[in-house]
Structure 1
Amino acid sequence: MEGYKRVELLLIFITISTVATTSANPWLPMEGNNPGSYCLSWRLAIETNNVRAWRTVPIQCMRYVEVYMLAGQYDRDVQLIVEQIRVYLNEIVLPGDGMDAWIFDVDDTCFSNVFYYRLKRYGCDPYDPTGFRTWAMKGASPAIQPVLELFNELIETGFKVILVTGRDEETLGQATRENLHNQGFTGYERLIMRTAENKKHSATIYKTTIRKQMMEEGYRIWGNVGDQWSDLQGDYSGNRTFKLPNPMYFVP
């Protein structure tokens, strides 16, 4: 009888534990217990574009984003994406007419602004256009190494690499070119920046317009790489798109 009672008590304990676990709401921010669990879910949601138009990183996720960006996981994620691009490249046979193109975004695609965003609490502070312009004019953004290696491989293979950025041509043109050159991004076909003509367009509309012009010029866009969904959405996005991680800011 005592054995049966012990089993009965064990079953009651398991039942109570199960009810308590399933009744908790897993989507509430876990401020005291484990904020990392919430922040991991939040980052997955923004990277898959299920959470859109977010303005700042949740304050409880500042440390999480810092660790993600600087402790190695971001680098491993980028490396894995670049490896997948190489797998795709092995499937492509170039016609050899010089019209095979790849598009790259610039900020946090070719080079990283993580040291600027460290001063902005890794995205917990609202976007500061003046502060970012001051940073960009220094030309101090370091290359994202796996992307630089891919960039050089594409050029050596015979692709025309076209850089399309939302930076302003008039104020940041020279600084951007020098930053790219100093970090090893040389030999690209062209660098396209915003002008007065498209200054008020959203990133998606602006970049779609640029890609349309490229297609009309006869380019075949085999791939498109960016850290924002607005780099990749819209028409003429290319045969394949590859999204790099960026939990620090959102560009509509």
Structure 2
Amino acid sequence: MARHRGGGDLVHLLLMLLLAAALLLAPAAAETEAEVAPTAPAQGASEEPEAAAAQQQLLPRPLVIELPSAAASELGGGDGSGDEFPPEVRCASWRLAAEANNLEPWGAVPAECAAHVRDYVTGTAYRSDLELVARESAAYARAAPLGGDGRDAWVFDVDETLLSNLPYYADHGYGLELFDHHKFDEWVERGEAPAIPSSLKLYKEVRELGFKIFLLTGRSEGHQAVTVDNLKKQGFHDWDKLILRAAADRKKTATTYKSEKRKEMEAEGYRILGNSGDQWSDLLGSSMSARSFKLPNPMYYIP
């Protein structure tokens, strides 16, 4: 009797194990069937494959980062010649190098950059750059510690600093043509150069703050009368001295000529706290000011 009951228990145990195994295998089989059999779309849902794929959201797409070296190689090999960059980028780099005084002395705007320079000086970017220089200059002037003895001076260049010659350069390729002294002198004699608005505002504020104002220009003394008239018509008044190139200064570089004139100011007891010019030769050399402010000018270079 005992042996019979033991055999029944064993059979019962085997049946229970088979049932448990069947229950465990059922989800896997159903999952496999789901993968094989297509799922019917819900009523009203889009049946397009792209929409179905978007709903599944199985895995994120891999992130691909394009390195600069790869982009440069696609553009042209990146051999350092600059040819791998489009002309607009090369010309923007050329203009930056010109403003930073990183170029060799140059006589005219590169032919491929003529349109770039034209668009710059006739567009909003040039006006914005001029206004930024004027704002920074005014902020410095307001904070400068004046001596109170009437000996604190600010030096201004004239052409492309106070007066604009853009009407002249519009007829001469915005710097594409080599500079012609005779043609430019004819333009100066017309006395029609307009004021640079941001510079006029700065000029008036510097004067009201109590600075002595010296206008130091490369124009010749023969243009004194027309220059005075042009400046006054455009709103520039009450400067302390207008200095023009004498016959003895004609063979000097602008850097030498202007350095000598600033040295004379210092010899007279003036402290040059500010200096505004569009050329590095307006600002560099000797007897430099405490702060110098370079206005943009990609149209010509004066050593």
Answer yes or no: same fold by TM over 0.5.
yes
Q: Which amino acid counterpart does residue 78 of structure 2 have in structure 1? A: A
Aligned ranges 1:118-157 → 2 under 5 Å = 118-157=170-209
Please state if 1:70 is matched with 2:116: no
Q: Contact 1:27/1:38 (CA < 8 Å) preserved in 2?
A: no
Structure 2: how far apart are the matches of 1:210 and 1:66? 33
* Cα distance, 1:74–1:29 mapped onto 2, change above 3 Å: farther
> 2:90: which partner in 1?
38
Q: Contact 2:219/2:245 (CA < 8 Å) preserved in 1?
A: yes
Please state if 1:79 is matched with 2:131: yes
Select which of 237, 244, 249 maps to 2:288.
237
Q: Contact 2:138/2:205 (CA < 8 Å) preserved in 1?
A: no
> 1:204: which partner in 2?
255
Shift of 1:98: 0.9
* Cα distance, 1:156–1:34 mapped onto 2, change above 3 Å: same
Structure 2: how far apart are the matches of 1:34 and 1:55? 23
Structure 2: how far apart are the matches of 1:96 and 1:15? 56
> 2:274: which partner in 1?
223
Shift of 1:27: 4.6
> 2:228: which partner in 1?
177
* Cα distance, 1:97–1:78 mapped onto 2, change above 3 Å: same
Unpaired stretches in structure 1, ≥5 consecutive residues: 1-5
Q: Contact 2:275/2:291 (CA < 8 Å) preserved in 1?
A: yes
Shift of 1:221: 0.3
Superposition RMSD in Å? 2.3
> 1:28: which partner in 2?
82
Q: Contact 2:191/2:229 (CA < 8 Å) preserved in 1?
A: yes
Please state if 1:116 is matched with 2:168: yes
> 1:3: which partner in 2?
none
Structure 2: how far apart are the matches of 1:28 and 1:19? 10
Structure 2: how far apart are the matches of 1:187 and 1:215? 21
Shift of 1:113: 0.5
Q: More deviation in 18-27 or 82-91?
A: 18-27
SS of 1:90 mapped into structure 2 = helix
Q: Which runs of 4+ in 1 moved over 2 A?
A: 13-30
Please state if 1:191 is matched with 2:245: no
Q: Could you give the per-residue CA deviations for residues 48-81 of structure 1, whole angstroms, max 9, x where no partner exists? A: 0000311100111111111101111110001111
Q: Which amino acid counterpart does residue 163 of structure 2 have in structure 1? A: F
Structure 2: how far apart are the matches of 1:224 and 1:190? 14
Q: Which amino acid counterpart does residue 217 of structure 2 have in structure 1? A: T
Q: Which amino acid counterpart does residue 196 of structure 2 have in structure 1? A: I
SS of 2:105 mapped into structure 1 = coil
Q: TM-score, structure 1 length as denominator?
A: 0.90
Shift of 1:91: 2.1
Aligned positions, number: 241
Larger relative contact order (CA 8 Å, sep ≥ 6)? 1
Larger Rg computed on CA atoms: 2
Q: TM-score, structure 2 length as denominator?
A: 0.75
Structure 2: how far apart are the matches of 1:16 and 1:78? 35
